[in-house]
């Protein structure tokens, strides 16, 4: 197959990106469901992941009802799997790579209803709008 013009190349690349994104989203959802939906641990892992948006481990731990060390332990294991990344804004904190809602996953009810964004994270978001 010989591609003669730039428009054809762009069209093919766009199609490749669509397929790669689709496959990546499906794999991400599968991995996160395996990590976060554990009947023995309840909504704890899912709540911690959902709140990992630049908040401190202490803040997340308090909201979820676990120690800050538990939050950091989750972050460490999730970082190895590539589903969280170090926060660019806050040293020592991590941020989720995927929004659960974007993957069609439900949010843990208490977290979705009761936990507001931290003041720092909320202010940071407003500053970037």
Distance (Å, rounded) from C-alpha 55 to C-alpha 12? 40
pTM recorded for the entire structure: 0.72
pLDDT at res. 113: 47
Arch. (CATH architecture) of 6-127: Orthogonal Bundle (1.10)
pLDDT digits (tens, 9 = 90+) for 48-99: 999 999 999 999 999 999 999 999 999 999 999 999 999 999 999 999 999 9
pLDDT at res. 123: 46
94 pairs with which residues across the strands?
A: 86
User: CA gyration radius for the chain?
Assistant: 18
* Domain residue ranges in the chain: 6-127
Pairing label, strands 94-96, 84-86: antiparallel
53 pairs with which residues across the strands?
A: 95
Residue 117, token pair as written in the block? 């964004």
Average pLDDT over residues 16-22: 88
């Amino acid at each position: 197959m010989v591609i003669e013009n730039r428009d054809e190349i762009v069209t093919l690349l766009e199609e490749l990106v669509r397929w790669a994104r689709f496959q990546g989203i499906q794999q991400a959802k599968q991995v996160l469901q395996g990590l976060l939906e554990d009947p023995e641990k309840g909504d704890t892992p899912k709540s911690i992941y959902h709140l990992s948006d630049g908040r401190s481990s202490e803040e997340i731990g308090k909201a979820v009802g676990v120690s800050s060390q538990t939050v950091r332990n989750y972050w460490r294991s999730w970082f190895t799997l590539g589903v969280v990344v170090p926060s660019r804004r806050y040293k020592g904190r991590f941020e989720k790579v995927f929004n659960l809602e974007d993957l069609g996953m439900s949010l843990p009810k208490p977290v979705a209803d009761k936990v507001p964004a931290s003041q720092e994270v909320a202010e940071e978001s407003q500053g970037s709008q």
